[in-house]
Amino acid sequence: MKYFASLVFCLMSFCAMAQEQVSFFFDSDKFVLQKSELLKLNQWLSANKEAKVVGVYGFCDEEGSVGYNDTLAKKRIDYVFNIIKNKIKIREDFKTRNFGKLHSLSPIKAENRKVTLYYIQPKDFVNEEKIIEEKKEVIAEKKKPNIKFSDVYVYENPNGSTVNIKIDTVFMKKVSVANVGEKLRLENMNFFVDTFAIMPQSRPVMFELLTVMKNVPDLKIQIQGHICCVQKDYRDLSTQRAKAIYKFLEFNGIEKSRMTFVGFASTKPLYPLPEKNEAEREANRRVEIEIMAN
């Protein structure tokens, strides 16, 4: 996206080690989130009730005039802000600031139509003012390369034969331009019940992640496992599942220095335990990657 408007909170700046971020994406020329992104926003609120939002940025693509894009970005900010304002801590001394400058951001238009929230966790509240005072510049997202991913991964079997595996270029592009601190769920990443054995239908997801790691050499990730339903992860399945993906990437040539893994058990649910239905259980038992460098 090239034009943006930004809601910032009083000379807002962010320490990379202390602040996190999450983005929600809009359809072209729209300032209301579609159902899937609205669900994502509500899930994030549910999982981060104790966090504090310290910045809200709205972005547009290059279609339309500077004034039009600034107005649309501001509407997107207002829409998201009105949803979160009574559900999470937000700095009180915020100011609204609009920018009409041209910025070099993602070459993928769909990735430019978004609102990004910057937030800190309770452990960093004591350093909040220090975090804000460390820098006085508005965050500028650097331009990422426009990588053209193939939608087919050619897998070579031990006997020399090959198999064409259909993979999702949209997911790979999203990972390739993601910013540090962003978390992305590995959709359709499934394991056999009560094991860390990956189900065959999840192979495409594995190869999508492998492909983007191979094509974006600066990308570093943390693989994060989560389970549902129970308070105690006695078998440490969340860690073992994250490790299984780590080992797959390592086996296929990804350097260990570019990735780590961790299991959170059921300590970071998107829905409270016990879940009310299978949809909530499915949402809670997930694997995500957090962007550590890109």
Residues 50-59, buried b or exposed e (16+ Cβ, 10 A)? ebbbbbbbbb
Identity of the amino acid at 12: M
CA atoms of 70 and 196, how far apart (whole Å): 47
**DSSP per residue, 178-215:** PPTT-EEE-TT--B-TTS-PBPGGGHHHHHHHHHHHHH
Tell me whether strands 52-60 and 114-120 are parallel, antiparallel or unpaired: antiparallel
- 220-225 and 287-293 strand pairing: antiparallel
Distance CA 283, CA 261 (A): 20
**Degrees to nearest 5, angle at CA 111 with 93 and 164:** 145
The predicted pLDDT at position 156 comes to 86
The C-alpha angle with vertex 177 and arms to 176 and 180, in degrees rounded to 5, equals: 100
Give the Å distances, CA to CA, from 31 to 45, 57, 71: 19, 13, 10
pLDDT attached to residue 225: 94
Residue 197: Cβ within 10 Å count: 12
* Superfamily of domain 152-293, CATH level 4: OmpA-like domain (3.30.1330.60)
Write down the domain spans for the chain. 3-133, 152-293
Q: Quote the CATH superfamily of domain 3-133.
A: OmpA-like domain (3.30.1330.60)
pLDDT of residue 134: 60
Query: Is 3-133's fold the same as 152-293's?
Result: yes
Contact 29, 72 (CB under 8 A): yes
123: exposed, middle or buried (C-beta count within 10 Å: 0-12, 13-18, 19+)? exposed
- For residue 179, the model assigns a pLDDT of 82
Instruction: Name the strand (E) or helix (H) holding 96.
Output: strand 95-98
pLDDT of residue 213: 96
Is residue 135 within 8 Å of residue 14, measured between CB atoms?
yes
Residues of the chain with pLDDT under 50: 1-17, 64-67, 95-104, 135-141
CA distance 141 to 23: 13
Terminal CA-to-CA distance of the chain, rounded, Å? 17
Dihedral angle sign, alpha carbons of residues 199, 292, 22, 115: negative
